[in-house]
Structure 1
Amino acid sequence: MRRMLSRLAVISTLFLSALECDAKVDSSLVEATAHLKRGVNILGYDGVWDGWFGNPFEIEDFRRIRKAGFDHVRVNVFGLKYLNRSNVLDPKMLSTLDHIFDLAEANGLWVVLDQHDNSLCQSAPEKCKEPTLAFWRQISARFARARPKVVYEILNEPGGAMTHEQWNDLLHAALALVRRSEPGRIIIVPALNVAEEDAVEKLDIPADDRRLIVTVHYYDPHRFTHQGAPWNSALANVRNVTWGVEAARRKVTEDFEIIARWANAERRPVYLGEFGVLETAPPISRAAWTRHVARTAEALGWGWAYWQFDHDFALVDPVTREWNRPLLDALMQGEP
């Protein structure tokens, strides 16, 4: 295992050295990647967006997250839900977003603003372009020349019925729109979320836009990470699947190396925006997988955000609201 991580460290060193020698690399990108090392996903399924009603997340949790050693939060916003029939964003949601940004900044946390609402794009991609662009047009207008510690993520997990061509078309349009008012904003762009290990190689992004970070998610093997998931009929009754043999660990390294080779060739930083294991997995294997994925990403120089703070895959107990200490330690400490 140490040999595998040493090989990844060499890849990471070569990549970072190439970036340092690249005159096109923007200082704001370097700063952003330095503050997007260890994060956690928050607020995707809380009532915060509807008046802080019925949500387990509390204002004090921002302080707890920072104290635990995280440097950023990935804020999951179901943005299209808050567009009216004229594609105008709900002002109450925008006000809440401002409040969240204030709380994060006050606690020393950077923010990834993740437009998490992907159901329309996955089911009817031909209908999702207009509302997605409407969301980013209004967000960009509101925060232009403000909130320098906020990074935009154009769309969570594009995929489903969406093709690579459709995604690249929407992505180009969204980037062009934001760049008109925010040429300096750091933006995260995902590869199409499909079962293709080389999907990132089909991502088409403007060669001259050097303020971009590429993101991927990782939940393999699903039979382990999603065992007992009630929304997955094939896995709902699966239990006691363990993880940790050498071949399984090596598979993570091999999968990440595919992405790393592309990123190195394109000189693009990578962000692991989601990874996690459902609570129904055996706790020891759950911690082992989480630790291994986090350390492997770090060995490549990638920042990451664990999925997620509360609800399912959670880092905190739903009743006591205390940290799952073995899982938190797996993320923040120790060998892979």
Structure 2
Amino acid sequence: MNRRDFIALSSLAAASTLAPRGSSVVASVSKMSTQPRIPRWRGFNLTELTGGRRDQRFRERDFAWMARWGFDFARLPMSYWAWSTPEDWHTIDEAALAPVDEAVEFGRRYGIHVNLNLHRIPGYCVNQRELEPHLLFDSPRDSMLRALEAAVHHWSFLARRYRDVPSSALSFDLFNEPPFMADHARYDEIARALVASIREVSPDRLIVADGADIGQTPVLSIADLGLVQSTRGYLPKMVSHYTATWVPKNEFESFAEPVWPMRDDKGDIWDRDRLRRELIDTWKPLVDLGVPVHVGEWGCFNKTPHATALAWMGDLLALWREADWGWAMWNLRGSFGIVDSGRSDVAYEDFEGHKLDRALLELLLAH
């Protein structure tokens, strides 16, 4: 039996055992071992390898800054292109993983938990997925199996490479922001195959799964796997992504200059109560099963007026603190971050040769 046949059989077996939604999910979860427990990690996404460039390294200074300010979490959204290619999925350049090795060591050195995420996994990326030779979702079955086979190969490799690093220091996030989907069957199939490949090598590894629908929807059918699920904090996008050209226009609730609270084009008010309904209550069925939730990404693009951004962020942070959820802002440095964000309406503080948004930092530290 070749590897693709093995993946196919494994995937079909996983699909045949999908836990249906409702009371049967509760029954399935009730029979499993205790769900993982995690601290209320707070920190940032560090994006050096998100685009897959091989001339990028993570910066030790970022880890030192986070530790100095009291943060304890770094999510690393990475493209597999940084160590492999879409032309040859199964060849991995081990030397190209040196930046990841360094980041894991920086995390150990500064007491920062490192979370490795495949922002681009073989067969899928939330941006420009069409650049992949075979697609992990919504393509012919053989094509999806080829992509899943490659995805399993990469996670198996990473699991072996970091098998001696404890889960208290390092976790794996399977893939970034799955697409919008009518049901979770294909997501479930992929998640089970990837989790099995990791646990075969590293049984105790802490594993994170992003919610469906670009990270916005909990996936109850995988609650029995004992994973953390990762949500997002970008709603409403009329505030978080004002003027962002990479967001499809149909995802904006309004194109008016943001204020907070804000009325969308349908006349509906967005305020803290609406955020609670959209971003907290939606996840209650999963939380009720004992599954930990972490906010893997959130933030506000630098074209949103600073006062509006701070008011919106303050409501989000208060809700997550109330729910006891940790979070990772996108990003530390850059247009969503607290350092060198390029806002035109901020009185930046000079900080070690960089521009620090002190007001935003203080808001984060208060929560």
- Aligned equivalent of 2:132: none
**Residue pairs, 1:166-181, within 5 angstroms:** 166-181=186-201
* 1:241 maps to 2:258: yes
Structure with the bigger percentage of helix:
1
* 1:250 maps to 2:273: yes
- Aligned equivalent of 2:231: 216
TM-score, normalization by structure 1: 0.79
- Aligned equivalent of 2:66: 65
Query: Number of matched residues?
Result: 299
Bigger CA radius of gyration: 2
* 1:98 maps to 2:115: no
CA distance in 2, matches of 1:318, 1:45: 19
Structure 2 letter corresponding to 1:107 = Y
TM-score, normalization by structure 2: 0.73
Whether the 8 Å contact between 2:228 and 2:293 is mirrored in structure 1 is yes
Structure 2 letter corresponding to 1:72 = F
Segments of 5+ residues of structure 1 without an aligned counterpart are 1-21
Please state how far the C-alpha of 1:180 moved relative to its aligned partner. 0.9
- Aligned equivalent of 2:42: 38
Structure 1 letter corresponding to 2:100 = L
Assess, with a 3 A threshold, how the Cα gap between structure 1 residues 323 and 48 changes in structure 2: closer, same or farther: farther
Identity rate of aligned residues, in percent? Answer: 20
Segments of 5+ residues of structure 2 without an aligned counterpart are 1-30, 130-134, 138-143, 263-268, 343-352
Partner SS state of residue 266, structure 1: coil
Please state how far the C-alpha of 1:240 moved relative to its aligned partner. 2.5
Assess, with a 3 A threshold, how the Cα gap between structure 1 residues 280 and 175 changes in structure 2: closer, same or farther: same
Partner SS state of residue 115, structure 2: strand
Partner SS state of residue 145, structure 1: coil
Assess, with a 3 A threshold, how the Cα gap between structure 1 residues 141 and 221 changes in structure 2: closer, same or farther: same
Please state how far the C-alpha of 1:40 moved relative to its aligned partner. 0.6
- Aligned equivalent of 1:121: 124
CA distance in 2, matches of 1:140, 1:95: 15
CA distance in 2, matches of 1:44, 1:163: 33
CA distance in 1, matches of 2:90, 2:32: 40
Please state how far the C-alpha of 1:255 moved relative to its aligned partner. 1.8
* 1:130 maps to 2:149: yes
Whether the 8 Å contact between 2:53 and 2:82 is mirrored in structure 1 is no
CA distance in 2, matches of 1:257, 1:60: 34
- Aligned equivalent of 1:17: none
Assess, with a 3 A threshold, how the Cα gap between structure 1 residues 46 and 188 changes in structure 2: closer, same or farther: closer
The structure 1 segments of at least 4 consecutive aligned residues displaced by more than 3 Å after TM superposition are 44-49, 160-163, 232-235
CA distance in 1, matches of 2:89, 2:274: 47
Please state how far the C-alpha of 1:310 moved relative to its aligned partner. 1.8
CA distance in 2, matches of 1:45, 1:74: 11
Alignment counterpart, residue 140 of structure 1, candidates 148, 159, 165: 159
Partner SS state of residue 271, structure 2: helix
- Aligned equivalent of 1:50: 54
Deviations 1:46-99 (A, max 9, x none): 78962447xxx6322211111112111111111255324151222123222111
Please state how far the C-alpha of 1:164 moved relative to its aligned partner. 2.1
Whether the 8 Å contact between 1:172 and 1:206 is mirrored in structure 2 is no
